[in-house]
């Protein structure tokens, strides 16, 4: 067995062992309870040990496992504090790091993708990666387009060998791991999260597709004073080279230790980018984990522009914009016009024919999407996110009853997932954001 198959087998074994390990800990916990230890103490110990192993394993892996960990990390704000505390550090670390691959492997990939003369254009390539994520890693380099031209600093993203095989294998195993996650994250349908990941993440292997999306965003935000999108320099099957972005940190650092000024400033830019992208590009940036958002402060250190990376996961929206009814439905919910709201939701396919639903229950279900836009500014927080998450997932809640009767149309699927993830990031930031004005500027039908 070669080195790569051996590594793949080891990855699969580590993922597959997680449900068995959790079951063993449950049995051990039962023994401790029978021995007289308090039940709450035993449960907390099981959760802590399982969480540590789960996220340590995800942090050591790449492919679908790493992508799943990054996706889960943006929802950390919704997890009850007693469950989140044992593994918050592991979740945050997944947002911005992963183990690197050998330098020679990188050079071999560049030769295969760009031809043996690539060193004539990429005249310098740093050996150590500057960043490593779910399916590839990034090196800093220097590129010349033609002899005699001024070289420019570039970011060289190289896909891990056999990333597609790794993704398929990891996603299969992660379906089993979803059962392990259930007791750790009460109310979260982790299996649905994995299923959504399975349908979308394979697109990220196509660097030509990613390059096309990045070019569209670069054009759409070229004159924006606050948002920076790097230009595409060159692309190959598993190599993507873009202009280098000098950035000291990402939103993950602001979440960890940012000032309130930084939280509010970058939180507002983050929200404005997500909402304005479809109108400028016809696409929604659908991977809003904090590591993709880079800080570009002013020379005096005060908050400045926001750089946005990684365009492998985008929603190519029908009509090249948010659905035309989206803003109108949110405005109707804010105004409490339940009759018009129900009619609009039926027309969009959220409520199927012959399904009866209570209008008040609809308003309860829509609260997380509506409340932030009711006032001029809204203060996001982990406490608010947990409260809303628990309310929607409480079988005694009217919002829960409404959720069982609602249908999510395919055209809204990735919008909904991205919106939830965006709420998670803003809640981690604890940012005060002018959501109402952003929606009025960017969301069709919202402004009256």
Q: Which residues contact 102 (CB under 8 A, 6 or more apart)?
A: none
Full-model pTM: 0.78
Most confident listed range (88-97, 170-179, 273-282): 273-282
Letter string b/e over residues 90-121, b meaning 16 or more CB atoms within 10 A of that residue's CB: bbbbbbbebebbeeeebeebbeebbeeebeeb
pLDDT at 57 over 80: no
pLDDT averaged over every residue in the chain = 78
Q: Which has more pLDDT, 26 or 287?
A: 287
pLDDT confidence of 405, banded at 50, 70, 90? Answer: confident
**Cα–Cα distance measured from residue 403 to residue 35, given in angstroms and rounded to the nearest whole number:** 42
Q: What is the mean pLDDT of residues 291-304?
A: 94
* Per-residue pLDDT reduced to its tens digit, 242-255: 999 999 899 999 99
H-run or E-run covering 226: none
**Distance in angstroms (rounded) separating the CA atoms of residues 99 and 118:** 25
For residues 83-108, give the mean pLDDT: 64
Residues 6 or more apart in contact with residue 436 via CB below 8 angstroms? 373, 374, 375, 376, 377, 378
Q: Give the whole-angstrom CA distance, residue 232 versus residue 209.
A: 12
The reported pLDDT for the residue numbered 124 is 96
Q: What pLDDT digit, counting tens, does each position of 229-243 carry? A: 999 999 999 999 999
- Give the residue extent of every domain in the chain: 3-97+166-184, 103-163+204-243, 322-442
Decide which of 3.65.10.10, 3.30.930.10, 3.30.200.20, 3.40.50.300 is the CATH code for 103-163+204-243: 3.30.200.20
Question: Could you count the other beta carbons within 10 Å of the beta carbon of residue 421?
Answer: 20
406-438 tens-digit pLDDT: 777 877 878 888 888 899 899 999 999 999 999
């Amino acid at each position: 067995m070669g080195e790569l198959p051996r590594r793949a087998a080891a990855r699969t074994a580590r993922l597959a062992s997680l449900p068995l390990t959790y079951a063993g800990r449950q049995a051990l916990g039962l023994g401790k309870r029978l021995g007289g230890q308090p039940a709450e103490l035993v449960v907390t110990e099981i959760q802590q040990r399982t969480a540590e192993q789960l996220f340590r394993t995800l942090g050591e892996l790449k492919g679908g496992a790493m992508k799943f960990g990054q996706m889960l990390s943006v929802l950390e704000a919704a997890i009850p504090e007693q469950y989140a505390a044992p593994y918050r550090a592991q979740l945050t670390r997944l947002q911005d790091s992963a183990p690197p691959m050998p330098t020679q492997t990188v050079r071999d990939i560049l030769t295969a993708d760009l031809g043996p003369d690539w060193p004539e254009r990429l005249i310098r390539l740093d050996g150590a990666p500057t960043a490593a994520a779910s399916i590839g890693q990034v090196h800093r380099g220097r590129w010349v387009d033609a002899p005699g031209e001024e070289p420019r600093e570039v970011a060289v993203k190289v896909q891990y060998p056999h990333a597609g095989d790794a993704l398929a294998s990891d996603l299969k195993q992660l379906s089993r791991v979803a059962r392990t996650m259930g007791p750790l994250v009460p109310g979260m349908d982790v299996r649905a999260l994995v299923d959504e990941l399975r349908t979308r993440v394979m697109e990220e292997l196509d660097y030509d597709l990613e390059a096309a999306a990045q070019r569209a965003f670069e054009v759409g935000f070229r004159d924006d004073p606050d948002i920076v999108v790097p230009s595409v320099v060159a692309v190959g099957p598993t190599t993507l080279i873009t202009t280098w972005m000098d950035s000291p940190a990402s939103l993950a650092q602001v979440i960890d230790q940012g000032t309130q000024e930084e939280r509010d400033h970058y939180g507002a830019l983050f929200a404005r980018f997500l909402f304005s992208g479809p109108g400028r590009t016809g696409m929604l940036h659908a991977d809003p984990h904090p590591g993709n958002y880079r800080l570009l402060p002013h020379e005096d250190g005060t908050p400045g522009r926001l750089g946005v990376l990684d365009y492998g996961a985008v929603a190519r929206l029908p009509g090249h914009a948010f659905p035309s009814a989206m803003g109108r439905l949110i405005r109707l919910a804010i105004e409490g016009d339940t009759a018009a709201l129900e009619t609009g939701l039926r027309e969009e396919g959220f409520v199927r024919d012959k399904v009866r639903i209570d209008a008040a229950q609809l308003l309860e279900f829509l609260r997380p999407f509506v409340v932030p836009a009711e006032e001029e500014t809204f203060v996001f927080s982990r406490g608010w996110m947990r409260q809303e998450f628990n309310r929607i997932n409480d079988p005694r809640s009217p919002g829960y009853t409404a959720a069982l009767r609602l249908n999510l149309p395919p055209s809204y699927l990735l919008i909904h997932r991205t919106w939830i993830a965006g709420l998670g990031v803003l809640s981690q930031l604890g940012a005060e954001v002018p959501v109402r004005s952003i929606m009025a500027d960017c969301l069709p039908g919202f402004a009256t």
